[in-house]
Amino acid sequence: MTLDEIISNFEYLDDWEDRYRYLIELGRTLEPLAPESHNETNKVRGCASQVWLETQVTKDASGTPVLNLKGDSDAHIVRGLVALVLALYSGKPAPTILSTDALELFESLGLAAHLTPQRSNGVRSMVDRIKSDAREAVEPA
């Protein structure tokens, strides 16, 4: 599902219970991570729930690094948040990822005001991890 489709669907849902249910449904659409990908390297630190992000870097025709992301969580709503973050960032060039503000999206959807502080910190940890991977892809050590 594209980010535009997700935003459009959110706009139709007035009730927060419906929006949480939609997030859970989004989480169910995630491509499953291989069991071996649920490892310490892919684990995102700073999340109350367990979250794993797997990053594969490819290059586009101009040689710009592109991040292809997969993710998973052991919590239903968090899995939906993972799906939302992946819709925002996966398949995008690293420079675009670095200049894209996830908080702007979460505020526009009303999520910033409706997530618990723990979940907000978890989302921030996911975004920080993805941006760190993008920086590394642009400027390898």
Q: Which residues are catalytic?
A: 47
CA-to-CA distance for 111 and 128, rounded, in angstroms? 18
Residue owning tokens 């005001």: 113
The Cα 134–Cα 12 span in angstroms is 33
**Which helix or strand (DSSP H or E) is residue 59 part of?**
strand 51-59
∠ Cα 80 108 98 (to 5°): 75
Residues in the chain: 141
